Amino acid sequence: MKNQIISIIWNIFNKIPNLKERLFRFYAWKIFEKVPKLKDLIYKIYDRFWFLELLIDNDQFNPLDLQTNNYELDLGKINFVVNNYQANDMSKLPNEWDLVPNITRIEDTNEFQLIKKHFTDNVDWKEINEYKYFRNILSNNQKILNCSNEQEFITYLKSLDDSFQKLMRDESTSVHYGFKVGVGRFGEFMLLDDIFLISLFIIISIKKIAIEVVLRHPLWIKFSSEFLRFQSVHGELYQPLIHPDLRFESSYTDQRFLIILENLAITNGALLDIGANLAYFCHKFEDLGFDCYAVEIRPSNVHYMKKLRDIEGKKFKIINKSIFDLNLKLDFDIVLALNIFHHFLREKELYQNLIEFLGSLKLKTMYFQPHDPSEKIMRNAYVNYDNEQFVRFIIKYSCLNKFELINKQSDGRNRPIYKIFK
Ligand SMILES: C[S@@+](CC[C@H](N)C(=O)[O-])C[C@H]1O[C@@H](n2cnc3c(N)ncnc32)[C@H](O)[C@@H]1O
């Protein structure tokens, strides 16, 4: 019942042309400017009850329709094999197929050891200890892949010798063999396919493989659906998603990261991401070797930021506060201020907070992405700087004194990126 009421209100809201936009402008400028306390109150309520928006029924979005099953994946993302994958019948898998003891680390398997000893230590197949293990399986009338006897198994192993020769000749980094995989409850990729062949790929350091997702754990589907719902209520995602199985549409790409990367003088140090949103940049910079701090004011974003961080096994710190309430004593090597500072030009009090914040910030380099001053949302702002005025404003109030425009546009938006430094 509660869901239906919310859904009806939401549908009416969506049916009246421009209503959302008008209300947004009204709410942002007219009321909030006059009664700033009301804005604080509304945000307080939203931050406390944001999860209610997930009840909004939006059946346009079904994650299973949007999820692709065939795509390329970094081989390093597949670390486990599901033990009884040979059954080839998913219905025979236990419910907890994605947890120990139903999975084994690929490198701990007899299959991997056999392949490693043959291809890296050059030992003949039959001379390898693990070979006896497979011979026993076959003599107990059990199958290995499609092999029912030792002769067939040896023929199969010899076909791996041929594959090895071919792979060594082929210099491409991507191999188009559709390995069947499952996605576990925490988004982990698990092999449900030929472990001998994948072991060979690991040993010869293939970077990317083609996969076919044939199984997703219900808890992973639940998380994906919930995340998609959250995203659809908010409009478009602001950043690309890191997890390869969350392939929901976003017009934002890796372009901004690549531009910053090209203009980066260091590859480690402390990095502060202001208004981190889902912390895409912290994932990327942690991979490079940075110690990252993601500051984000909205608990709703932080909720998903944490989940996405844990799924990827990342370590960056998440601070759920306004940047103005930060009390970090750190001296940052890099500060990312992407699409955030213009929010503070809208109101006098925020503008003053920004000046104070810039004065207290200890840093060496800032990557700054300003807004496009002609954008509607800035129409009634307290101050509306053009790009270069904005950069000079930052220089005036921070410890930085030089700047460089490193690109003019990104992801099709008129929002340049500046490097500001000492
Ligand atoms: C327009 S998005 C930009 C996200 C990201 N920096 C990027 O460019 O991809 C602004 C983000 O800053 C967050 N934010 C707004 N005011 C903030 C504040 N005072 N302190 C920390 N985060 C804030 C918003 O919740 C939102 O996630």
DSSP output for 177-223: EEEEEEE-TTS-EEE-S-HHHHHHHHHTT--EEEEEEEEE-HHHHHH
Contact 75, 28 (CB under 8 A): no
Same domain? 76 vs 22: no
Helix (H) or strand (E) holding 353: helix 348-360
Q: How far apart are CA 116 and CA 118, in angstroms?
A: 5
Among protein residues, the one whose CA lies closest to atom 15 of ligand 1: 275
Q: What is the pLDDT of residue 55?
A: 80
The minimum-distance atom of ligand 1 relative to the CA of 295 is 21
Query: Is residue 282 a part of any domain in this protein?
Result: yes
Q: What is the pLDDT of residue 228?
A: 83
CA of 298 to the centre of ligand 1 (A): 8
Mutate to test the pocket of ligand 1, among 297, 325, 335 (most ligand atoms within 8 A of CB): 297
Same domain? 49 vs 135: no
Same domain? 397 vs 267: yes
Final residue before a domain boundary, out of 165, 193, 217: 217
- pLDDT band of 68, cuts 50, 70, 90: confident
CA of 322 to the centre of ligand 1 (A): 9
Q: 336 lies in which domain range?
A: 255-421
Among protein residues, the one whose CA lies closest to atom 19 of ligand 1: 322
Among protein residues, the one whose CA lies closest to atom 1 of ligand 1: 339
Give how far Cα 161 sits from Cα of 82, 118, 185, 200, 206, Å: 25, 9, 36, 10, 16
- pLDDT band of 422, cuts 50, 70, 90: very high
Q: How far apart are CA 293 and CA 314, in angstroms?
A: 12
**Average pLDDT for residues 129-149, to the nearest whole number?**
94
Same domain? 38 vs 82: no
Same domain? 285 vs 410: yes
Q: What is the pLDDT of residue 20?
A: 61
The minimum-distance atom of ligand 1 relative to the CA of 278 is 27
Q: What is the pLDDT of residue 38?
A: 78
In the chain, the number of structural domains is 3
The minimum-distance atom of ligand 1 relative to the CA of 277 is 27
Structure tokens at 44: 């307080």
Same domain? 33 vs 76: no
Q: What is the pLDDT of residue 17?
A: 60
Query: Is residue 226 a part of any domain in this protein?
Result: no
**Average pLDDT for residues 307-317, to the nearest whole number?**
96
Same domain? 75 vs 98: yes
Task: Output the domain CATH number for residue 299.
Answer: 3.40.50.150
CA of 221 to the centre of ligand 1 (A): 28
The minimum-distance atom of ligand 1 relative to the CA of 323 is 20
Among protein residues, the one whose CA lies closest to atom 7 of ligand 1: 338
Pocket of ligand 1 (CB under 6 A): 238-239, 275, 277, 295-298, 301, 322-324, 338-340, 343
* Burial annotation 29-58 (CB, 10 A radius, 16+ → b, else e): beebeeeeeeeeeeeeeeeeebeebbebee
**Average pLDDT for residues 251-273, to the nearest whole number?**
95
Same domain? 38 vs 108: no
Pairing of strands 269-274, 290-295: parallel
Q: What is the pLDDT of residue 230?
A: 85
CA of 242 to the centre of ligand 1 (A): 18
**Average pLDDT for residues 24-49, to the nearest whole number?**
72
- Which strands sit side by side in the sheet containing 317-319, from one edge to the other? 317-319, 290-295, 269-274, 332-338, 363-369, 417-421, 402-407
Q: What is the pLDDT of residue 242?
A: 92
Same domain? 96 vs 12: no
> Which of residues 304 and 90 earns the better pLDDT score?
304
Among protein residues, the one whose CA lies closest to atom 27 of ligand 1: 277
Task: Supply the mean pLDDT for the chain.
Answer: 89
The minimum-distance atom of ligand 1 relative to the CA of 337 is 6
The minimum-distance atom of ligand 1 relative to the CA of 252 is 9
> Which of residues 262 and 329 earns the better pLDDT score?
262
> Which of residues 262 and 236 earns the better pLDDT score?
262
Same domain? 273 vs 163: no
Q: What is the pLDDT of residue 25?
A: 52
Same domain? 209 vs 262: no
CA of 224 to the centre of ligand 1 (A): 23
Helix (H) or strand (E) holding 104: strand 103-105
Query: Is residue 211 a part of any domain in this protein?
Result: yes
Closest-CA residue to 281 (of 309, 307, 244, 323): 309
**Average pLDDT for residues 333-351, to the nearest whole number?**
95
Query: Is residue 364 a part of any domain in this protein?
Result: yes
Roughly what angle, to the nearest 10 degrees, separates helices 110-119 and 195-203?
A: 50
CA of 245 to the centre of ligand 1 (A): 25
Q: What is the pLDDT of residue 237?
A: 82
Q: What is the pLDDT of residue 320?
A: 97
Q: Among residues of the chain, what percentage have pLDDT more than 70?
A: 88
CA of 354 to the centre of ligand 1 (A): 14
Q: What is the pLDDT of residue 59?
A: 59
Q: What is the pLDDT of residue 95?
A: 86
Q: What is the pLDDT of residue 274?
A: 98
pLDDT digits 0-9 by tens, 103-127: 999 999 999 999 999 999 999 999 9
Query: Is residue 338 a part of any domain in this protein?
Result: yes
Q: What is the pLDDT of residue 375?
A: 85
Question: What is the distance of C-alpha 194 from the center of its chain?
Answer: 28
Query: Is residue 171 a part of any domain in this protein?
Result: yes
Q: Is the pLDDT of residue 250 over 80?
A: no
- pLDDT band of 378, cuts 50, 70, 90: confident
Q: What is the pLDDT of residue 379?
A: 80
Query: Is residue 242 a part of any domain in this protein?
Result: no
Question: What is the distance of C-alpha 176 from the center of its chain?
Answer: 24
**Average pLDDT for residues 131-147, to the nearest whole number?**
93
Query: Is residue 228 a part of any domain in this protein?
Result: no
> Which of residues 386 and 227 earns the better pLDDT score?
386
Q: What is the pLDDT of residue 67?
A: 72
Final residue before a domain boundary, out of 195, 217, 239: 217
Among protein residues, the one whose CA lies closest to atom 13 of ligand 1: 275
Q: What is the pLDDT of residue 94?
A: 87
CA of 274 to the centre of ligand 1 (A): 7
Q: What is the pLDDT of residue 229?
A: 82
Same domain? 266 vs 162: no
For residue 17, give the 3-state DSSP assignment. Answer: coil
Query: Residue written as tokens 């499952």?
Result: 182
pLDDT digits 0-9 by tens, 141-191: 999 988 999 999 999 999 999 999 988 887 555 566 799 999 999 999 999
Final residue before a domain boundary, out of 33, 57, 81: 57
Helix (H) or strand (E) holding 278: none
Q: Is the pLDDT of residue 195 over 70?
A: yes
- pLDDT band of 417, cuts 50, 70, 90: very high
